[in-house]
A and B are shown apart, each in its own frame.
Chain A
Amino acid sequence: MMFKKGKQYDFLKQVKWMGILLAAVMLTNLGVCLYAISAISDETSKYADSVVLSYVREVQQMLDNIDNTIATEILYDTKLDTIQDGKDIIEVIQANLTVKNLLASWAHQYALPVNHMIYFPGTETTITGSREEKEYAEWRRIEKELISMLVEKKGSSEDSEVGEWNVVNLQGKNYILKYYYYKGRYIGSWIEIDKLIDTMVAEGLGKECLFVVSSASGKAYNSQERLEEKGLSIPASIGEKLVVRDFLSPDMIVNEPVKGTTFSLNAVILGYSQVAGALSVQIALTLIVVMIAAACLVFMLYIRRTLIKPIQDFSNNIRKFREDNTYTVETHYQIAELANASEILADLVKQINGLKIDIYERTLEQQKVKMDFLTLQIEPHFYLNCLNIIYHMTEIKKYKEVQNLSQCVSDYLRYIFKTGNNMVLLGEELEHTKKYLEIQKIRYRDGFEAVIEVEEEVLGVKVPPLLLQTFVENALKHTIDWEEEITISLRGRKMSRGKEDYIQIEVEDSGEGFEEEILRKLQHGIDISEGEKRIGIMNAVQRLHLQYGDRAKVCFYNRPEGGAGVRIQIPIKERKEGGE
């Protein structure tokens, strides 16, 4: 009990502690998670910064170089004058070819094709440095629009002009463009924005990294659909590097203006792979831990319900039983073994209780018998009569008979006190009975005749005390009649029934016999004692029953010749006292 109690106590506590521990782990996990996210996103943004910066620098460098090249190598070139004047066709053609080759040679100095063109409004001729088929086709596509745009921009002013690198939309595509207007001719450089973006590669920057060219106000010039898809918008330029990032958002935009131009370069990083990865790993781990914890908890509760609680109930029940001897079967035991045990226990308890009652009753019975026996033993009438007789005998001065009688009574009493409840030898009992008869003979003076025929071999058998005497007494009592002489016969011999040896004692008299009613009752074993009357017989029968159970038999009958008879059969083998 104590041990079980201890376990229950610990169990709940354990569960509680486990719960606290898990909560602590989860919180730590969360904390680490958040820290990791912020650390990684910081790293990523730093890396993104540096990537964007390097590309911005590259672009700026390239554009500077282009500006430089044009300024130093073509802007003031006299060949352009030749072409513009158009005097000598041969010279014009020569100059044209030379300039063209020059422009073409500048086209592939960088990672992407840079196109140059010169337009002479006077003759409406153009020279283009785009030689490769793809670029030439591109040029043909936008030529008209580009030229008319330049002319429109210029208006009628003859002043020289240099524009900043700008983004223009020609025939539906976006280009960055710079032009010079000098000495009446235009020199322009144009780059496809898509081709510019293609040269930008960012590895390890999130799941997907888009480079976007945007205007100062945040208008994107490429990848517009993708941005829309993702619901992102490019910020307006603040004149220097700008990072746009929401804490938990997996997307980040790094915006940096390109000096010397009207546009900015952006790196749009979708889903920093590491962050998303780390995040999802963390979340997965947390979830797993939580799930395991929950499972454990649930399992423990389940155990508690199906195993521990029933055991506790069970042990409580048993305790109750100890206290008040009742045992109730609980029906909620889900564990079969426990239910079985409980039922068996209930059964046992019932049995025990039954047994207890049995024993109690038997003890009572035994007590009663003993009491009766004791009562019998102390038979006041008999002793009073004997004393009376002795008194009267002394009156008539029959001192010899007084001696005899006192001796007999003394022997009789001695025997009674001596034996108590112990078994006696049949011989002894017989002697005692003879003494009794002698006493009675003195009382009743030849009122009766006793015939005793007992075999010698049965004399040594142990029998319950005062058995024989009782029946003989009974026979005598009921038949003694001062008028006729009756005969009391006592026979005893050894017999066998199957394996059992027993002694058979017959006590008969020649009186009137049992009354019909009485005999019937006796034969049926019904108690015929009425207060003091016939106690002896009943007691004897009861004692025999107690001692020998079914093995001893007492049979009452009336002799055909007249008179009552009792046949007693007592097994020779003893049994332990009190047993069945």
Chain B
Amino acid sequence: MKKKVVSLLLVAAMIMTMLAGCGKDSGSTDTGSSDDGDGSVTKTEIGEYTEEDPYHLVFSYVEFYEQDDDARAAVQDAINAKMIPEYHIEVELLPLQYADYQSTIQLMLSGGDDLDVMPIFYTFASSWINMGGIYDMAEFMDTEEGKAIVEALGEENANVGSMNGVLYGFPANKESVELGGLCMRADVCDELGLTEKYGLEANKDAYDGTYYDWSVAEEIFAAVKAARPEMTPLYMYNSDQLVRFKFFDELVDGFGVLDWEADHASTKVVNKFETETYKEAVTMLADWYDKGYIFEDAATDTQGTASMMKAGNTFSYLTAIKPGFLAEAEAANGGKCYAMYFGDHKEGGLSTTNVSFFNTGISANSQDPEMAFKFVSALYADAELMNLWQNGIEDTNYKVLEDGTAFFVEGEDGSNYAYHQNTGWFMGNQFNSYVWNDGSKSADYWTLLQSHNDWAEYSPAFGFMWDSTDYSTEVTALQNALETYRAALHTGSVGLDKVDETIQKLNDALYAAGLQDVMDAKQEQLDKWLAEQK
């Protein structure tokens, strides 16, 4: 009898302790915080997740380069081996192809498919927000996770992915400012004494504030043309390269812009093609073309710089330059090159769309946006996650070198690797991951890149995304109108004597297509946004 009583008491005592323990845990958990260690629970407003019962998260992204399916599966397992115990999140990688990325996401959003984290290209942001497919992340910004993102991107960039009041996405951490110039053939430079004259060096491509006026470029072209008559001094092609010469805040589509060159602080929406800035650039180009400095077939050419440089008849081309550029250029162009920064200002302009290229956001289909946000934050704050996703499993897909950079493992290279996303510029915080060193980079590469951004001067409209949904017809018409004249004007093919005339024709066509309405609408939205910012 006595024994029975004692055992009953003991059992009761055990049960009590268990309950007490449970109660204690649930009492101390805040919304949005996660505990590490076993037995802990991540509680959000929607659900509770543990290591045994994690949140299933679908992470979609664009796979720009082919990956081996088995390798990717192994990486997913490795990611989960970390994410489940640490975040109570079970990640499902959903790679998409760029060609049909837009349509796939759109289908998933409208079809209510399981989708948490997704990339949002800025041109699609407007339509996806309007169809209610994107979750506004503004509410999470005060959390620990939100703060981590701000820390990684900086206050300005963290909030650049907003439109119509919706914080829809965070840009990838990358060098955003475009400081441009010429990439020139080193051997010809050497031959003509340019190397000495301008202090050109192999692999010297980091910006230190030294830039040259385009008149200097003209001199160089003349020299080249004189010395090498069969060679094209400057290669230009059908795509628009005007930005190399003049920076406008295009306000997304370039129909109605801010003339930053004329006035850094201007917030007046003007017609780019009627500005002096524009006329200056185009006239110079036409002059060059007449002088024979520009590739004759530039207006219709679609080959691309690498192809032309490899063909051997081209001296230089226009490009954005950043640290590490020359190493890549040498590989692509088949020969050593030098870089020279050209421009009107020491700094480069930075508009919303410079930064906000592909943004990482949460779909409205997410079952628990809070958990999705935790994952998004991890992409910016957790180096291990970024490394796993981008580079794979250490010692299987990459190895860490002595200087702290990383490269492929033995036996693998750029042509036969199993897993290497190579898209740090796309989503998340690549500055957290290993510097990928093909022999040309050092461990401080991220620092270099980040300091490159220091040369940026923000446009007054930075952070503003114009919503063109209501004017999509006009925008299309404007694009068609522009296309008729763009190639001729922006490559100088139009010829100096025809420049003014053609500009006039262009503007007539633009206004006929509804330019004024578009500009007015833009100004309205901009003013509104500016007011909100104050």
Which A residues are closer than 8 A to B by beta carbons? 89-90, 93-94, 96-97, 100, 125, 127, 131, 133, 136-137, 140
Known: A89-B498, A90-B505. A96 touches B310 (CB 8 A): no
Instruction: Report the Cα distance A93→B498, complex, angstroms.
Output: 14
- Cβ-neighbour of A89 out of B303, B307, B493 (below 8 A): B493
Residue of B nearest to A100 (CB): B300
Residue of A nearest to B506 (CB): A90
Min Cβ gap A362→B in Å is: 107
Q: Is B213 an interface residue (CB 8 A)?
A: no
Residue pairs across A and B with Cβ atoms less than 8 A apart, 16 shown, are: A89-B493, A89-B495, A89-B498, A89-B502, A90-B485, A96-B300, A97-B238, A97-B299, A97-B300, A97-B487, A100-B302, A133-B304, A133-B307, A136-B303, A136-B307, A140-B311
Min Cβ gap B372→A in Å is: 41
Instruction: Report the Cα distance A140→B307, complex, angstroms.
Output: 11
- For B457-479 the 0/1 string (1 means CB < 8 A from A) is 00000000000000000000000
Q: Is B513 an interface residue (CB 8 A)?
A: no
Q: How many residues of B contact A (CB 8 A)?
A: 21
Instruction: Report the Cα distance A140→B487, complex, angstroms.
Output: 23
Residues of B within 8 A of A97 (CB): 238, 299-300, 487
Tell whether, in the assembled complex, residue B307 and residue A90 are in contact, meaning their CB atoms are under 8 Å apart: no
Residues of A within 8 A of B299 (CB): 93, 96-97
Q: Is B137 an interface residue (CB 8 A)?
A: no
Among residues 276 to 312 in chain B, which have CB atoms less than 8 Å away from a CB atom of chain A? 297, 299-300, 302-304, 306-307, 310-311
Q: Is B393 an interface residue (CB 8 A)?
A: no
Tell whether, in the assembled complex, residue A131 and residue B302 are in contact, meaning their CB atoms are under 8 Å apart: yes
Residues of B within 8 A of A100 (CB): 300, 302
Tell whether, in the assembled complex, residue B484 and residue A94 are in contact, meaning their CB atoms are under 8 Å apart: yes
Residue of B nearest to A94 (CB): B484
Tell whether, in the assembled complex, residue B297 and residue A90 are in contact, meaning their CB atoms are under 8 Å apart: no
Instruction: Report the Cα distance A174→B446, complex, angstroms.
Output: 50
Min Cβ gap A98→B in Å is: 10
Instruction: Report the Cα distance A137→B313, complex, angstroms.
Output: 12
Instruction: Report the Cα distance A72→B498, complex, angstroms.
Output: 35
Known: A89-B488, A90-B488, A97-B238. A137 touches B311 (CB 8 A): yes
- For B396-429 the 0/1 string (1 means CB < 8 A from A) is 0000000000000000000000000000000000
Residue of B300, B311, B487, B495 ringed by the most chain A CB atoms within 10 A: B300
Min Cβ gap A459→B in Å is: 129
Q: Is B494 an interface residue (CB 8 A)?
A: yes
Residues of A within 8 A of B310 (CB): 137
Residues of B within 8 A of A131 (CB): 302-303
Min Cβ gap B533→A in Å is: 42
Tell whether, in the assembled complex, residue A93 and residue B300 are in contact, meaning their CB atoms are under 8 Å apart: yes
Instruction: Report the Cα distance A297→B240, complex, angstroms.
Output: 92
Instruction: Report the Cα distance A490→B176, complex, angstroms.
Output: 167
Q: With A90-B494, A125-B297 given, name 12 new contacts (CB 8 A).
A: A89-B488, A90-B502, A93-B299, A94-B484, A96-B299, A96-B300, A97-B238, A97-B299, A100-B302, A133-B307, A137-B310, A137-B311
Instruction: Report the Cα distance A97→B484, complex, angstroms.
Output: 10
- For B487-517 the 0/1 string (1 means CB < 8 A from A) is 1100001110010001001000000000000
Instruction: Report the Cα distance A160→B302, complex, angstroms.
Output: 31
Residues of B within 8 A of A136 (CB): 303, 307
Min Cβ gap B503→A in Å is: 12
Tell whether, in the assembled complex, residue A89 and residue B494 are in contact, meaning their CB atoms are under 8 Å apart: yes
Among residues 128 to 178 in chain B, which have CB atoms less than 8 Å away from a CB atom of chain A? none
Instruction: Report the Cα distance A100→B310, complex, angstroms.
Output: 22
- Cβ-neighbour of A93 out of B303, B304, B306, B487 (below 8 A): B487
Instruction: Report the Cα distance A93→B237, complex, angstroms.
Output: 12
- Cβ-neighbour of A137 out of B307, B485, B495, B498 (below 8 A): B307
Residues of A within 8 A of B502 (CB): 89-90
Residue of B nearest to A83 (CB): B300
Residues of A within 8 A of B302 (CB): 100, 131
Residue of A nearest to B489 (CB): A90
Min Cβ gap A74→B in Å is: 16
Known: A100-B300, A131-B302. A93 touches B493 (CB 8 A): yes
Instruction: Report the Cα distance A127→B300, complex, angstroms.
Output: 9
Instruction: Report the Cα distance A96→B495, complex, angstroms.
Output: 17
Q: Which 10 residue pairs are nearest across A and B when measured between Cβ atoms?
A: A96-B300, A93-B299, A133-B307, A93-B488, A97-B300, A140-B311, A90-B488, A93-B487, A89-B494, A89-B488
Residue of B nearest to A141 (CB): B311
Instruction: Report the Cα distance A125→B298, complex, angstroms.
Output: 12
Residues of B within 8 A of A93 (CB): 299-300, 487-488, 493
Min Cβ gap A527→B in Å is: 119
Residue of A89, A93, A100, A133 ringed by the most chain B CB atoms within 10 A: A93
Min Cβ gap B102→A in Å is: 23
Residues of B within 8 A of A127 (CB): 300
- For B358-399 the 0/1 string (1 means CB < 8 A from A) is 000000000000000000000000000000000000000000
Min Cβ gap A268→B in Å is: 33
Residues of A within 8 A of B307 (CB): 133, 136-137
Min Cβ gap B167→A in Å is: 41
Residue of A89, A133, A140 ringed by the most chain B CB atoms within 10 A: A89
Instruction: Report the Cα distance A89→B238, complex, angstroms.
Output: 14
Residues of A within 8 A of B304 (CB): 133
Instruction: Report the Cα distance A137→B502, complex, angstroms.
Output: 34
Instruction: Report the Cα distance A131→B303, complex, angstroms.
Output: 7
Min Cβ gap A83→B in Å is: 10
Residues of B within 8 A of A140 (CB): 311
Instruction: Report the Cα distance A329→B238, complex, angstroms.
Output: 115
Instruction: Report the Cα distance A89→B492, complex, angstroms.
Output: 11
Instruction: Report the Cα distance A96→B485, complex, angstroms.
Output: 13
Residues of B within 8 A of A96 (CB): 299-300
Residue of B nearest to A99 (CB): B300
Residue of A nearest to B299 (CB): A93
Residues of B within 8 A of A94 (CB): 484
Instruction: Report the Cα distance A133→B311, complex, angstroms.
Output: 10
Residue of A nearest to B494 (CB): A89
Min Cβ gap A118→B in Å is: 12
Instruction: Report the Cα distance A133→B334, complex, angstroms.
Output: 13
Residue of A nearest to B495 (CB): A89
Instruction: Report the Cα distance A125→B304, complex, angstroms.
Output: 19
Among residues 431 to 486 in chain B, which have CB atoms less than 8 Å away from a CB atom of chain A? 484-485
Instruction: Report the Cα distance A125→B297, complex, angstroms.
Output: 9
Residues of B within 8 A of A89 (CB): 488, 493-495, 498, 502
Min Cβ gap B304→A in Å is: 8
Instruction: Report the Cα distance A262→B484, complex, angstroms.
Output: 43
Min Cβ gap A88→B in Å is: 9
Residues of B within 8 A of A137 (CB): 307, 310-311
Min Cβ gap A256→B in Å is: 38
Instruction: Report the Cα distance A136→B297, complex, angstroms.
Output: 14
- For B328-345 the 0/1 string (1 means CB < 8 A from A) is 000000000000000000
Residues of A within 8 A of B505 (CB): 90
Residues of A within 8 A of B494 (CB): 89-90
Residue of B nearest to A98 (CB): B300
Min Cβ gap B238→A in Å is: 7
Min Cβ gap A116→B in Å is: 15
